[in-house]
Amino acid sequence: MTGQGLGIGIGLAALGVGLGLGLIGYSALQGMARQPEAIGKLQTVMLIALAFVELVFLLTVFIVPGSMAAFK
C-alpha cells in the first residue's frame, strides 16, 4: 500500500512540475518571438525559473519516502 501511495504521489508531483515547466517554456517562447533582441535576458531568467520549478520535484522525490516512513 505504501508503495502505491509513493508512486501516485511522485506521479502527481511530476504532473505539476511538467505543467509548470510547460508554462515557463510557453511564455518564454512567446516573449522571445515577440522581442527577439531580448532573447539573452529571457533565456537567463527562464533557466532560473526552470531550476526552481525542477527543484520542487526533486524535493518531493527526496522527502516523500522519508515522511511516509515517519508517519507509518
Asked if residue 4 lies in contact with residue 66, where contact means CB atoms within 8 angstroms, the answer is: no
CB of 12 to another protein, least distance (A): 17
Task: Determine which helix (DSSP H) or strand (DSSP E) holds 68, and give its type and residue range.
Answer: helix 39-71
- Least distance in Å: CB of 48 to another protein? 6
25: cell is 517554456
Question: Which residues lie near another protein (CB under 8 A)?
Answer: 39-41, 43-44, 47-48, 50-51, 54-55, 58-59, 61-63, 65-67, 69-70
Task: With beta carbons less than 8 A apart as the criterion, state whether 55 and 16 touch.
Answer: no
We find the least distance from the C-beta atom of residue 55 to another protein, in angstroms, to be: 5
